[in-house]
Amino acid sequence: MEGSNNNNNNKNKNNESGILIVVEGIDGSGKSTQIHLVDRWLRSKGYDVFFTEWNSSETVREITSKGKKKARLTPMTFSLLHSTDFADRYEKNIYPLLRAGYIVLADRYIYTALARDTVRGCDQSWVRNMYSYARKPDLVFYFRIPVEIAVTRIISGRPKLKHYEAGMDLGLSKDEYESYKIFQGRIVDEYESMVSDENFIVIDGTLDIEKQQNTVRRNVLRTLKLKNQIRGNIARVSQLETNTDE
Ligand code: ADP
């Protein structure tokens, strides 16, 4: 694949074309709510937008779901299946659409794998290497939230936590809820360790939806402006600028 050459070649790729915007955070942090609002906003302004989410490849879904249901996955096979899912979406959608100038919105990106797989005991450099072909995003929003609040939101939406999301494969606790808190707490620590090096924009996930969305849009606007300045397409952005609160 053209997009999967070495790291050095990838370093400059985020200036090439398209815009890649990513949301990260633990489940219940509110990231999907925010990226959907951005999606609607940008589409309503006529931008070409593509939305992609973690673990959603048609090709890989069946086997991942089978392995998860039967609790048969080891940390390594869990990691490999998710990276296959990502590679499939990257080759088929993310990379070609960025090349075509789209704004690609990703609900979770490589940082999810880096955080989760590391907590599961995979070597972080091994994981990082698996995803080394992936373009660096133009923007990464990290939704920071205490685990307690996130879990309360999840439980109010559905009655039961899932085996792997609760980290039950790690034997942290026999109690699902306890295990979830320990596991997700460790994932938060991994995310926090990436904030500075990966230039995460930290969003306070405890704020109300509108407040968060305003901050998110301001940052999206700034990025669009920067990219469009490079491309000499200022008029396009000023149309958005007057309407960030819509
Ligand atoms: P995630 O994608 O991080 O799992 P979601 O966006 O799906 O999170 O939100 C999880 C739940 O929390 C949903 O029921 C959603 O409506 C609710 N929610 C999202 N943002 C907020 C917020 N700022 N305050 C209160 N509840 C929220």
Beta bridge partners of 52: 106
Ligand 1 centroid from CA 217, angstroms: 17
Residues 43, 179: Cα–Cα separation, whole Å: 40
Is 157 close to ligand 1, i.e. is its CB under 6 Å away? yes
For 11-62, give the DSSP string: TTGGGTSSEEEEEE-STTSSHHHHHHHHHHHHHHTT--EEEEETT--HHHHH
Enumerate the domain spans of the chain.
14-145+199-224
Digit-coded pLDDT (tens) for 158-212: 878 889 999 999 999 999 999 999 999 999 999 999 999 999 999 999 999 999 9
Task: Give the atom of ligand 1 at the shortest distance from the alpha carbon of 107.
Answer: 2
As a whole number, mean pLDDT of residues 212-227 equals 95
Residues 63, 172: Cα–Cα separation, whole Å: 26
As a whole number, mean pLDDT of residues 96-111 equals 97
pTM of the model: 0.90
Give 14-145+199-224's CATH code, choosing from 2.30.290.10, 2.60.40.420, 3.40.50.300, 1.20.140.10. 3.40.50.300
Residues 231, 136: Cα–Cα separation, whole Å: 19
Task: Give the atom of ligand 1 at the shortest distance from the alpha carbon of 207.
Answer: 23
Task: Give the atom of ligand 1 at the shortest distance from the alpha carbon of 34.
Answer: 6
Give the full edge-to-edge strand order of the sheet including 49-53: 49-53, 103-107, 19-24, 139-144, 201-204
